Structure 1
Amino acid sequence: MKRNKVLGLGMLIVLGGVATAYTLTQQSITIKGSDTMLILNQRWAEAYGRVNPRVSVSVTGGGSSIGINALINGVTDICASSRPMRKSEIDRARSRGVVVNEIPVALDGLAICVNASNPVDSLTVDQVRRIYIGQITNWSQVGGPDMPIVVFSRDSNSGTYGFFQQNVLRNQNWGRGVRFMPSTSEEAREVARTPGGIGYGGVAYFKNRPGIKILKIAAKAGEPAYAPTEENVRSRKYPIWRYLYFYTNGKPRGEVARFIDWVRSKEGQALVEEVGYYSLNP
Structure 2
Amino acid sequence: MKQGSKRSVPLSKDAVQMIRGLIIGELLTIVIIGGLWLWLRPRLWIDNGPVSSSSQGADTASAPAASTFKTVSDVPIGTFKYGGSTAWAPIRQLVDSQIQNNRPELQLRYVDPAKGSPGSGSGIRMLLNGELDFAESSRPLTAEEYNMARHRGFTLEQRQVGVDGIAVVVNQTLKVPGLTIDQLQQIYLGQITNWRQVGGPDLPITTFSQQPENADTVLFSANPLLTKQTLNSTNTQYVYSTTEALRRVSKTPGGLYYTSASAVVPQCTVKLLPLGFTPTQLVSLYREPLVPPNQCPPKRNQINTEVIKNGSYPIISKLFVIIKRNKGREQQAGEAYTRLLLTDQGQKAIEQSGFIPVR
Please, which moves more after superposition, 221-230 or 196-205?
A: 221-230
Whether 1:74 aligns to 2:130 is yes
CA distance 1:116–1:266, shift in 2 (3 Å): farther
Letter in 2 for 1:227: S
* Pair 188,277 (structure 1): closer, same or farther in 2 beyond 3 Å: farther
Deviation at 1:44, TM superposition (A): 2.7
Determine if contact 1:32/1:59 at 8 Å carries over to the other structure: yes
User: CA shift at 1:169, angstroms?
Assistant: 7.2
Following superposition, which runs of at least 4 residues in structure 1 exceed 4 angstroms of deviation? Answer: 165-170, 251-256
Distance 1:69 1:80 in 2: 11
Shift in alpha-carbon separation, 1:127–1:108, aligned structure 2, 3 A? same
Partners of 1:72 and 1:98 within 8 A in 2: no
1:231 to 2:306 alignment: yes
Structure 1 spans left out of the alignment, 5+ residues:
1-24
Judged with a 3 Å threshold, the aligned counterparts in structure 2 of structure 1 residues 100 and 256 are, in CA distance, closer, same or farther, namely closer
Query: 1:137/1:169 Cα in 2 relative to 1: closer, same or farther (>3 Å)?
Result: farther
SS in structure 2 opposite 1:76? coil
Alignment of 1:144-163 (within 5 A): 144-160=200-216, 163=218
**What is the Cα deviation at residue 255 of structure 1?**
5.2
User: What CA deviation, in whole Å up to 9, does each residue of 1:1-45 have, x standing for no partner?
Assistant: xxxxxxxxxxxxxxxxxxxxxxxx951122121122234234332
Structure number, greater radius of gyration: 2
- The partner residue of 1:34 within 85, 88, 92 is 85
Q: 1:245 aligns with which of 320, 328, 348?
A: 320
Counting strand residues as a fraction of each chain, which structure ranks higher?
1
Q: SS in structure 1 opposite 2:98?
A: helix
Question: Contact between 1:29 and 1:256, CA under 8 Å: does it hold in 2?
Answer: no
- Residue in 2 aligned with 1:268? 346
Query: SS of 1:225's equivalent?
Result: coil
Cα pair 1:105 1:244 within 8 Å, conserved: yes
- Conserved? CA contact 2:220–2:315, under 8 Å: no
Distance 1:207 1:222, change over 3 A: closer
Deviation at 1:241, TM superposition (A): 0.9
| CA–CA separation in structure 2 for the residues paired with 1:90 and 1:39 | 28
Q: TM-score, normalised by structure 2?
A: 0.65
Q: Does 1:213 align with 2:291?
A: no
1:75 aligned counterpart, secondary structure = coil
Return the offset for 1:170: 5.2
Kept in 2: contact 1:40–1:272 (CA 8 A)? yes
Counterpart in 1 of 2:5?
A: none
How far residue 213 of structure 1 moved from its aligned partner, in angstroms, is 1.2
- Contact 2:340–2:346, Cα closer than 8 Å, also in 1: yes
> Structure 2: 5+ residue runs without aligned partners?
1-75, 113-117, 286-303
**SS of the residue 2:125 aligns to:** helix
For residues 62-100 of structure 1, give each alpha carbon's deviation from its aligned partner in whole angstroms, at most 9, with x where no partner exists. 122222122222332211111111111101101111221
Counterpart amino acid of residue 263 in structure 1: L
Aligned-residue offset at 1:181? 0.6
Letter paired with 1:193: K
Letter in 2 for 1:58: R
Specify the SS of the correspondent of 1:36: helix
- SS of corresponding position for 2:338: helix
Which stretch shifts more, 234-243 or 266-275? 266-275
Paired position in structure 2 for 1:195 = 253
| 2:194/2:202 contact within 8 Å kept | yes
Structure 1 residues 237-246 or 39-48, which shifts more? 39-48
Per the TM alignment, residue 253 of structure 1 is displaced from its structure 2 partner at its CA by: 5.8
Q: CA RMSD, aligned part only?
A: 2.3
Q: Is 2:191 aligned against 1:113?
A: no
Letter of the structure 2 residue corresponding to residue 172 of structure 1: T
Distance 1:51 1:136 in 2: 51
Change (3 A) 1:254 1:109: same
Secondary structure in 1 aligned to 2:219? helix
Partners in 1 of 2:348 and 2:155 — Cα distance?
Answer: 30
- Match for 2:338: what amino acid? I
Matches within 5 A, 1:154-193: 154-160=210-216, 163-164=218-219, 171-193=229-251
